[in-house]
Amino acid sequence: MRSWFAYAVLAGAMIAAPVLAEEDCASTQGDVAIAARTPQVDLYDAAMGRRVMTLDQDKFPACAPIVARAPNMMLEVDVNGTKYWVPPHMVKYRFAGNLPPVCRNLAMGSNDTKVGSTRGLGEGCPKPSGGK
Amino acid sequence: MRISAACISAALALLVAPPAPASGYPDHGKALASLSPASDYSDLLRTRPRAISIMRTRAQGFVPSAELHDYARSVLMRELAGVSLPSSFQPDVHVLAAPEFSALCTPDGTVIVTIGLLEQLENEDELAFVLGHEVSHAILRHHDSDWLARSQYYAVVNAAAVDSVAQQASGAIGAANAANVARGLDVMQHLYKLSANVLAPQMTRGQEDQADAFGFDLMVRAGYDPEAALSVMDKLAAQEAEAARAAASAKAAERQNGGASSVGSALLGGFNNFAASGFSVSALTNKDTMTDLALNVFDAAVDSMSDEAASHHPAKEREDLLSAYVFREYRDLAPRNPKPLPWSPASTSPAKPQLTALLAHYSAAEDAASYVADAGASTPAKASAAVSRATAAPTADHAYTEFVAAEFYDGAHKMALSDAALQKAVKGPEPSWEVYARLINRYVAQNDYTHAQALMGEAVTRFDNSAVLLPKRIAILHGMGNDAEAQSLLPQCQSYDIRELADECRKAAGQA
């Protein structure tokens, strides 16, 4: 006879499995806002703009594509067909490849891809001559 | 049935419940609002010379740039302006010439950031978060009373391993064995990583949370973009992911080799308790073994990092905690634009030309070092160009750039150029202990104890008679036949209460 705890674990696993699968957003290519991180998510009309809407956590769409990033790290996200800017602390996100947050500040002049101890952090980053 | 359903519901609730709030964040309000600094930091300020001395013997020493120091310090002071702190709290910033993404704070309020961290930051706001976080540890007096002793322990053990590798590398020159030189450099890079991530005295999770909250308050209060803190966390997470990959790779290699070596196995048991791990430099009598040990230590360290979360607070978790704090306390803050770093294209800082060149040259030196460690990483022509760039003004006499140049010339069997690079470094504004050690080793290898002793005399003054120097000091005296003076230094070795140091000193003096 199974204990109630075993049932609970099994039930939990059944519920958690699809959630975990969805959290990966594995089927979504490119940069993605996986889910809301905070109880509510504020939507802005521009990276330096004003708040135009607030969504409760469960209303924020899962796996929303990130279409752009601003210098102040705000993320432009496609929310049900409309583009808004969201503060990154309010969403869990995943970036594909190497994007500016993990690029070295290569303003300096080395045109070589970073290797060695910091390998991976600068690879594929914009080169100094081209800017970001 | 009802009871069972309730139990199941409760269990499910537990399963999906968010993690318990971290103790380091305030339950309500901003961390800065509840700051109650110590009334006096004089006791910690008095430890500054020793702390700086310990740091100075690490890695390639400090980056000798007044412009860089002034800039970093100005960011820190901007954050602390108006914060009620006693005059005995005198914060400062030093930049360590290490390629890792790392920062720490000594108990007296000296923030140490690495050149590798500066290279990877995107804007001043990120730097502000790093500095704010680190200085918070000092303001909140987070350091254990044995912090200096632990740091000293690490400095001694690290220096012994690096020196052993250096001796191996210098021995390899005669044998024209560039692979050994490369391996030696690789080990050194690993050791730097080790120092930054594992061996360096760490804070508890709660203390890290406190420093995150307080450092965040400081940066926002100073007008910086709050989202920059998240961006720093992303970079930390990337570092952790890299460490995890390295750990997985080390594990795979270990399996391929039929299991861990005995030393590796011992260390794998829990490297965070390194002092009790049985790691003994004195047990190692041959250079190859030392190199192997260094690699094992590194592997074990990254292994423990990825497996053992008890003393390590993953950046992703910290990011979530910080996000919740930002949401609670700063939600209505209007978006801000980050301030460019003075070496970025958008900067209008008068220091831009000097700092841009400085960082470019260190970056070039790191590229050259990567080539020396792994010839497949680049081409000789590119590496040579990187060395030329790294050793031009304003970094022509910097220890890090010249040391890398010396290594590069070693590999190319251009000993005169290699020696010249080391000589330039040792006469520069901030020569590292490693540069001294390398040159001294070369003199000793040529039985030129006169020059070795003279150079050691300089080093003793420069490094405030550091414990790190003692074994080599004794070895030189012993080599010169001055055993009485060599023996007279043994009590100094013992006074640090570091078994490995005492053993190394006895060995250097010719004692079993």
| Claim to verify: residue A91 and residue A101 sit in the same structural domain | no
| Claim to verify: residue A102 and residue A91 sit in the same structural domain | no
Q: What integer best gives the mean pLDDT of chain B?
A: 80
Count how many domains chain A has.
2
pLDDT, position B193: 53
pLDDT, position B184: 55
3-state SS string for B122-166 = CCHHHHHHHHHHHHHHHHCCCCCCCHHHHHHHHHHHHHHHHHHHH
Percent of chain B at pLDDT > 90 equals 51
| Claim to verify: residue A101 and residue A88 sit in the same structural domain | no
Question: Hey, is A98 helix, strand or coil?
Answer: coil
Per-residue model confidence as pLDDT tens digits over A122-131:
344 444 333 3
Percent of chain A at pLDDT > 90 equals 43
Q: Check: CB of residue B474 under 8 Å from CB of residue B482.
A: no
Q: How many CA atoms lie within 13 Å of B306's alpha carbon, on the beta-carbon side?
A: 20
Residue A77 forms part of a structural domain: yes
Residue A92 forms part of a structural domain: yes
pLDDT, position B16: 44
Write the DSSP assignment of A10-38 as a string of letters.
HHHHHHHHHHHHHHHTTT--SSEEEEE-S
CA distance A6 to chain B (A): 9
* Cross-chain Cβ contact A115/B234 below 8 Å: no
pLDDT, position B252: 66
User: Residue B104 to residues B94, B316, B430: CA-CA distances in angstroms?
Assistant: 10, 19, 20
| Claim to verify: residue A82 and residue A92 sit in the same structural domain | yes
What is the average per-residue pLDDT within B12-26? 56
The answer, yes or no, to whether ipTM is higher than 0.95 is: no
Tell whether A94 is within 8 A of chain B (Cβ).
no
Task: Give phi and psi for B170, each to the nearest 5.
Answer: -70, -35
Q: Kindly provide the residue ranges of all beta strands, DSSP E only, lying in chain A, ordered along the sequence.
A: 32-36, 40-44, 51-56, 64-69, 75-79, 82-86, 91-94
| Claim to verify: residue A74 and residue A89 sit in the same structural domain | yes
Per-residue model confidence as pLDDT tens digits over B96-113:
998 777 888 999 999 999
- Give residue B160's pLDDT band: very low, low, confident or very high (50, 70, 90): confident
CA distance B265 to chain A (A): 25
Tokens of B10: 């409760």
* Cross-chain Cβ contact B386/A110 below 8 Å: yes
Among B7, B101, B227, select the one facing A87 at the smallest CB separation.
B227
Residue to substitute from B3, B4, B15, B193, interface A, most A β-carbons within 10 A: B15
- Give residue B155's pLDDT band: very low, low, confident or very high (50, 70, 90): confident
Q: Report CA torsion sign: B385, B390, B394, B396.
A: negative
pLDDT, position B371: 84
| Claim to verify: residue A40 and residue A85 sit in the same structural domain | yes
pLDDT, position A124: 40
pLDDT, position B294: 55
| Claim to verify: residue A72 and residue A118 sit in the same structural domain | no
Residue A20 forms part of a structural domain: no
DSSP letter (8 states) at residue B28: S
The residue that leads in pLDDT, A100 or B294, is B294
Position B506 pLDDT exceeds 90: yes
- Give residue A24's pLDDT band: very low, low, confident or very high (50, 70, 90): confident
| Claim to verify: residue A59 and residue A107 sit in the same structural domain | no
Per-residue model confidence as pLDDT tens digits over B451-505:
999 999 999 999 989 999 999 999 999 999 999 999 999 999 999 988 888 988 9
**Domains of chain B with CATH codes:** 43-330 (no CATH), 352-508 (1.25.40.10)
Residue A14 forms part of a structural domain: no
Look at residues B322, B22, B232 and name the one whose alpha carbon lies nearest to residue A90. B322
Per-residue model confidence as pLDDT tens digits over A43-86:
999 999 999 999 999 999 999 999 998 988 999 999 989 999 99
pLDDT, position B289: 47
| Claim to verify: residue A76 and residue A114 sit in the same structural domain | no
CA distance B189 to chain A (A): 7
Identify residue B433 by its one-letter amino acid code. W
Residue to substitute from B63, B193, B370, B379, interface A, most A β-carbons within 10 A: B370
* Cross-chain Cβ contact B11/A71 below 8 Å: no
The residue that leads in pLDDT, A15 or B131, is B131
What is the average per-residue pLDDT within B24-35? 93
Size of interface A-B (CB pairs under 8 A): 170
Residue A10 forms part of a structural domain: no
Beta bridge partners of A33: A64, A93
For residue B8, list chain A residues with Cβ-Cβ distance below 8 A. Answer: 4, 7-8, 11
DSSP letter (8 states) at residue A122: S
Look at residues A125, A59, A122 and name the one whose alpha carbon lies nearest to residue A86. A59
B292 class by beta-carbon count within 10 Å (0-12 exposed, 13-18 middle, 19+ buried): middle
Residue A122 forms part of a structural domain: yes
Position B272 pLDDT exceeds 50: no
| A71: CATH | 2.30.30
- Give residue B512's pLDDT band: very low, low, confident or very high (50, 70, 90): low
| Claim to verify: residue A81 and residue A123 sit in the same structural domain | no
Per-residue model confidence as pLDDT tens digits over B411-440:
899 999 999 999 999 999 999 888 999 899
The residue that leads in pLDDT, B278 or B188, is B188
Tell whether A57 is within 8 A of chain B (Cβ).
no
Residue A108 forms part of a structural domain: yes
What is the average per-residue pLDDT within B322-333? 96
Per-residue model confidence as pLDDT tens digits over B343-399:
888 889 999 999 999 998 998 998 888 888 777 778 999 999 999 999 999 999 999
* Cross-chain Cβ contact A117/B341 below 8 Å: no
Position B265 pLDDT exceeds 50: no
* Cross-chain Cβ contact B11/A73 below 8 Å: no
What is the average per-residue pLDDT within B140-151? 86
| Claim to verify: residue A67 and residue A124 sit in the same structural domain | no
The residue that leads in pLDDT, B196 or B378, is B378
Residue A105 forms part of a structural domain: yes
Tell whether B392 is within 8 A of chain A (Cβ).
no
| Claim to verify: residue A33 and residue A92 sit in the same structural domain | yes
Q: A119 is in which domain, residue-wise?
A: 97-132
Position B234 pLDDT exceeds 60: yes
pLDDT, position B144: 84
pLDDT, position B157: 73
Among B10, B242, B324, select the one facing A38 at the smallest CB separation.
B324
CA distance A47 to chain B (A): 7
- Give residue B150's pLDDT band: very low, low, confident or very high (50, 70, 90): confident
Among B100, B338, B343, select the one facing A107 at the smallest CB separation.
B343
